[in-house]
């Protein structure tokens, strides 16, 4: 039951196809904004190939030196590139780069003169009426966020301790290029946390109130691939076959939750990240098994979910996730992230993100969330 829609063309292969993708856009762009992550990326083989492919275009490069951009960062980047009248954006990087590419595509040509203005544009979704939205191409260099196939971008608002979202079906990428070789040099912790993020996307999508027969097929396929390969990718990071399995798992998870959104585990993860600085994928995975246990009776075809995880019950999912945390250098206990009872109470109060918590198959109270948090304290 239900309907499925995703506007992104997906190209699984090598980044070299970017040249043809840009040449095929109508109208063909002459000015391309290239967003990359900072650090040593400019010296990478991927950047070398990309520079060659973009040789026929006028390119302005913007290097993102931060992760999890907030509304102030977005405003600063928006101002920085405004004068270069780009007609297309290519974003190559992790979730932060792709979310920024998507946001700048959504805001293109808008009159925004202050951070307060931008906050209003985002909160009141004024960008939905923007007539100048431009196409963007997403090239993920991590396997996890799924941002290349979803139509929303996370923009933090640290000044107000909330997560904002730019969200519209008009801002799907024109094309996503999935090139697993780009993930080969990812450090262990990032490999594990992004893969766990994708595992949560797929699992939460599966039991989401908005799941449908198509999204559930993608979700189960994602879970199987990630569960089978996550330990291998941590132990054999250079094995391109394993990297490809995780990249496909992440892509399928993205295709699943692009239509369903996430649920309670993601909703609780946002204050865990804001208050305790826990990496996004770890923060979401900390509560996944407990949320599964509480949701269990409300899950459609729950036997298929357990089968995809290769387990008999939710406790075994908890054991599996704790094992992945351990081998990749993370703790599964909030105490180890400097939590205390006062912070737990703040996190429980701020765990009710609109569009996420209300998408969970059963309703949680603050008391339920506190119990979930105390189970991993």
Q: Which residues bind Fe ion (CB under 5 A)?
A: 197
For strands 152-157 and 162-167, give the pairing: antiparallel
Least distance from C-beta 167 to Fe ion, angstroms? 14
Residue 132, token pair as written in the block: 């100048």
First vs last C-alpha separation in the chain: 39
Least distance from C-beta 63 to Fe ion, angstroms? 24
Which single residue brings its beta carbon nearest to Fe ion? 197
Least distance from C-beta 284 to Fe ion, angstroms? 6
- Residue 329 contacts by C-beta under 8 Å, 6 or more apart in sequence? 188, 189, 192
- Residue 336 contacts by C-beta under 8 Å, 6 or more apart in sequence? none
Specify whether the backbone of 238 is left (phi greater than 0), alpha (psi in -120 to 50) or beta.
alpha
Least distance from C-beta 144 to Fe ion, angstroms? 7
Q: Please, which residue, 130 or 142, has the CB nearer to Fe ion?
A: 142
Q: What are phi and psi of 235, to 5 degrees?
A: -85, -25
Q: Please, which residue, 110 or 286, has the CB nearer to Fe ion?
A: 286
Least distance from C-beta 266 to Fe ion, angstroms? 6
Sheet strands (E) in 13-83: 31-37, 58-64
Q: Please, which residue, 45 or 210, has the CB nearer to Fe ion?
A: 210
Task: Identify the CA nearest to 233 among candidates 223, 221, 246, 222.
Answer: 246
Reduced to 3 states, what is the DSSP secondary structure of residue 107? helix
Least distance from C-beta 257 to Fe ion, angstroms? 8
Residue 241, token pair as written in the block: 């076959």
Q: Please, which residue, 197 or 245, has the CB nearer to Fe ion?
A: 197
Least distance from C-beta 255 to Fe ion, angstroms? 14
Contacts 24+ apart (CB under 8 A), 39-43: 39/65, 41/93
Q: Please, which residue, 179 or 197, has the CB nearer to Fe ion?
A: 197
Chain-centre distance of CA 272, in angstroms? Answer: 16
Q: Please, which residue, 87 or 353, has the CB nearer to Fe ion?
A: 353
Task: Identify the CA nearest to 285 among candidates 194, 224, 368.
Answer: 194
Least distance from C-beta 186 to Fe ion, angstroms? 16
Q: Please, which residue, 73 or 197, has the CB nearer to Fe ion?
A: 197
Q: Please, which residue, 108 or 356, has the CB nearer to Fe ion?
A: 356
């Amino acid at each position: 039951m239900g309907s499925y829609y995703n506007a992104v063309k997906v190209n699984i292969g090598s980044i070299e196809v970017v040249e043809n993708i840009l040449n095929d856009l109508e109208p063909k762009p002459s000015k391309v904004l290239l967003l990359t992550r900072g650090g040593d990326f400019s010296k990478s083989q991927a950047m070398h190939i990309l520079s060659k492919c973009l040789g026929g275009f006028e390119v302005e490069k913007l290097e993102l030196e931060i992760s999890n951009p907030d509304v102030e960062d977005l405003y600063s980047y928006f101002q920085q590139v405004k004068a270069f009248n780009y007609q297309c954006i290519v974003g190559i990087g992790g979730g932060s780069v792709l979310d920024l590419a998507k946001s700048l595509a959504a805001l293109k040509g808008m009159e925004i003169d202050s951070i307060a203005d931008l906050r209003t544009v985002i909160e009141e979704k004024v960008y939905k009426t923007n007539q100048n939205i431009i196409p963007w191409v997403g090239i993920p260099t991590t396997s996890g966020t799924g941002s290349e196939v979803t139509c929303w971008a996370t923009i933090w608002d640290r000044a107000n301790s909330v997560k904002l979202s730019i969200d519209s079906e008009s801002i799907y990428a024109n094309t996503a290029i999935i090139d697993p070789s780009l993930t080969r040099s990812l450090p262990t912790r990032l490999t594990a946390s992004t893969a766990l993020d994708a595992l949560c996307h797929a699992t939460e999508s599966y039991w989401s109130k908005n799941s449908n027969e198509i999204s559930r097929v993608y979700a189960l396929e994602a879970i199987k691939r990630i569960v089978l390969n996550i330990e291998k990718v941590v132990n054999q990071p250079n094995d391109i076959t394993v990297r490809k399995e995780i990249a496909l798992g992440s892509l399928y998870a993205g295709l699943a939750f692009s239509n369903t959104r996430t649920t309670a585990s993601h909703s609780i993860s946002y204050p865990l990240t804001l208050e305790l600085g826990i990496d996004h994928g770890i923060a979401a995975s900390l509560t996944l098994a407990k949320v599964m246990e509480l949701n269990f009776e409300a899950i459609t075809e729950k036997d298929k979910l357990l089968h995809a995880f290769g387990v008999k019950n939710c406790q075994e999912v908890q054991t599996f996730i704790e094992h992945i945390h351990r081998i990749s250098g993370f703790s599964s206990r909030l105490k180890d992230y400097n939590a205390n009872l006062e912070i737990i109470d703040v996190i429980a109060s701020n765990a009710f993100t609109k569009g996420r918590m209300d998408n969970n198959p059963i309703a949680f109270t603050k008391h339920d969330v506190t119990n979930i948090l105390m189970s991993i304290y």
